């Protein structure tokens, strides 16, 4: 069953490219069309073995196209499989009544798509055993865009980059000039594209937005909440099908601060998510940060990215690693790690080389910590940090306290959080902040470090001393390593350096609230 021809009809360009790429990799000959009229024109020149047809096409829809194909003696033998972003009752029956041979509900991952195509072709071959040979019609010309085929990684990167921007614009436009029809149309496109790419959380979030907008009188609050989730799903694409973490790994990592240095933002996000799932406390450092700082030395292990960008930094100086006296895991491409000085390589206790996943990083870290008990510090901060079960769970709208003596900062942060569906309490000084934390016990508190009088550290220390179950995030205007280390020692859950963007703030806050 090799070299069968397939015609894909979908009005979403990224879906066409993805499906074309996936099917070509499996040995199929693939042709594409963005609407039903173009598909019918192509069928006058060739006859594919199978067609994948999106139901919701502009102009002539997919079911009407199927009826036209099945009513024409010249094309009625083509296998037609319908693609739909909805799983509503009766849709399958409508597709079969129109003449479709099969029906697939988006999102569909690449393996399932290929499996369905092959299954339909096998069924068709069984129904038409030993067919009479027929002349092979000429192939239609391949569009120029297909000649320079993009690889899957390029499509994934572009999809995420565009999605981050568009989803943020959707959310921001809710205040004025919101285009519900356009938003629903884009989300409909994302349902299929994200599914094929493997980003099922994005696909599910997009589906919920589309369904909410299809209601007669959409609830603005509900739309805002769903769009907030969609924005975060684009910023956290690494959280896909996370396998269960083995108990020995969780036991080795639970409560321990782990330093990450030199990783690109997207990689660091995925590693942080995996570490947090195991109960660890990731701390991300940039290559311009001081590697000998107390914040690093206070950690139980260090994961260090080895790349052309980090090879010339102080982090990859052998004498600095030696002075850390903690397990070091080097991660990077084989050629980059091999380019390191042999003495430096010998100081690493574990390596992550080429194509590793965050789950493997957890395993390597747990091995390193179990082999080096003398370096696996209990860390005073670990004793001060609460476990997720001790925090008040978020069952409705999150409640967050903002404490800052700068009125502008308070206002900006409050507006940002409210846009994401978070209720806010506001305090202008440490004394007021501590009193409000005692009275309201919010789910989290954003506390400025440098408030006059009772500063952020004193508020944090009092909250931990009184055992109040509040997640504490420190706001600081400068990245002082001693200040950051002091915050973690007192039991801070996270810190954010001013100025910060709204996406970073929301991503960090919501990650804590989900624990």
For 234-270, write each residue's pLDDT tens digit.
887 754 444 567 787 888 898 899 999 988 876 777 7
Low-confidence ranges of the chain (pLDDT < 50): 131-150, 239-242, 373-385, 388-389, 479, 481
Give the whole-angstrom CA distance, residue 186 versus residue 88: 20
Q: What are phi and psi of 61, to 5 degrees?
A: -80, 175
The pLDDT, as a whole number, for residue 154 is 73
The pLDDT, as a whole number, for residue 148 is 35
Strand order of the sheet with strand 423-427? Answer: 423-427, 399-403, 444-448, 471-476, 494-497
Q: Are 427 and 456 in contact (CB under 8 A)?
A: no
> Where do we find the tokens 């306290």?
401
Strand order of the sheet with strand 301-306? Answer: 281-285, 257-261, 301-306, 328-332, 350-353
Q: 419: exposed, middle or buried (C-beta count within 10 Å: 0-12, 13-18, 19+)?
A: middle
Containing 384, the helix (H) or strand (E) segment is: helix 380-384
DSSP letter assigned to residue 311: T
Which pLDDT tens digit goes with each residue over 294-327?
888 888 999 999 988 888 888 887 565 555 678 8
The pLDDT, as a whole number, for residue 180 is 92
Tell me, yes or no, if the pTM score tops 0.95. no
β-strand partners of 94: none
Query: Residue 402: how many CA atoms within 13 Å on its side-chain side?
Result: 22
Q: Are 77 and 127 in contact (CB under 8 A)?
A: no
The pLDDT, as a whole number, for residue 378 is 38
DSSP string, 433-462: HHHHHHHH--SEEEEETT-SSS-HHHHHHH
Q: What is the crossing angle of helices 180-197 and 13-25, to 10°?
A: 10
The pLDDT, as a whole number, for residue 16 is 82
The pLDDT, as a whole number, for residue 484 is 65
């Amino acid at each position: 069953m090799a070299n069968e021809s397939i015609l894909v009809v979908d009005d979403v360009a990224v879906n066409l490219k993805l499906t074309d790429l996936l099917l070509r990799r499996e040995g199929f000959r693939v042709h594409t069309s963005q609407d039903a009229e173009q598909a019918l024109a192509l069928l006058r020149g060739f006859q594919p073995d199978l067609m994948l047809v999106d139901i919701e096409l502009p102009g002539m829809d997919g079911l009407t196209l199927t009826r036209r194909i099945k009513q024409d003696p010249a094309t009625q033998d083509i296998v037609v499989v319908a693609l739909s972003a909805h799983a509503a009752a009766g849709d399958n029956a409508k597709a079969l009544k129109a003449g479709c041979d099969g029906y697939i509900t988006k999102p569909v991952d690449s393996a399932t798509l290929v499996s369905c195509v092959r299954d339909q072709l096998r069924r068709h071959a069984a129904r038409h055993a030993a067919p009479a040979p027929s002349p092979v019609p000429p192939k239609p010309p391949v569009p120029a865009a297909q000649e320079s085929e993009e690889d899957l990684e390029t499509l994934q990167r572009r999809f995420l980059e565009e999605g981050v921007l568009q989803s943020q614009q959707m959310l921001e436009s809710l205040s004025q000039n919101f285009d519900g029809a356009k938003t629903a149309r884009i989300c409909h496109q994302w349902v299929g594209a994200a599914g094929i790419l493997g980003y099922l959380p994005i696909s599910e979030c997009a589906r919920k937005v589309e369904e909410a907008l299809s209601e007669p009188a959409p609830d603005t609050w509900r739309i805002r909440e769903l769009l907030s989730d969609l924005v975060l799903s684009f910023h956290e694409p690494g959280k896909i099908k996370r396998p269960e973490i083995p108990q020995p790994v969780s036991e080795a990592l639970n409560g321990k601060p782990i330093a990450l240095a030199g990783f690109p933002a997207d990689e660091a996000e995925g590693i942080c998510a995996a570490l947090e799932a195991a109960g660890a406390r990731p701390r991300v450092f940039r290559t311009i940060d001081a590697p000998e700082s107390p914040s690093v030395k206070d950690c139980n292990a260090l994961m260090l990215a080895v790349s052309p960008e980090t090879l010339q930094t102080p982090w990859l100086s052998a004498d600095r690693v030696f002075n850390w006296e903690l397990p070091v895991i080097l991660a990077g491409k084989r050629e980059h790690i091999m380019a390191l000085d042999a003495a430096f390589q010998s100081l690493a206790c574990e390596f992550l080389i080429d194509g590793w996943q965050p789950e493997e990083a957890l395993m390597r870290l747990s091995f390193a910590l179990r082999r080096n008990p003398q370096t696996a510090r209990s860390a005073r901060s670990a004793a001060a940090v609460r476990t997720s079960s001790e925090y008040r769970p978020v069952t409705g709208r999150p409640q967050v306290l903002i404490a800052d003596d700068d009125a502008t900062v308070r206002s900006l942060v409050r507006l940002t959080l409210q846009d994401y569906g978070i209720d806010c309490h506001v305090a202008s000084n440490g004394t007021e902040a501590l009193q409000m934390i005692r009275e309201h016990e919010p789910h989290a508190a954003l506390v400025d470090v440098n408030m006059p009088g009772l500063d952020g550290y004193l508020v944090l220390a009092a909250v931990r001393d009184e055992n109040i179950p509040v997640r504490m995030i420190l706001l600081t205007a400068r990245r002082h390593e001693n200040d950051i280390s002091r915050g973690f020692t007192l039991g801070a859950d996270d810190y954010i350096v001013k100025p910060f963007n709204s996406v970073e703030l929301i991503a960090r806050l919501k990650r804590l609230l989900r624990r």
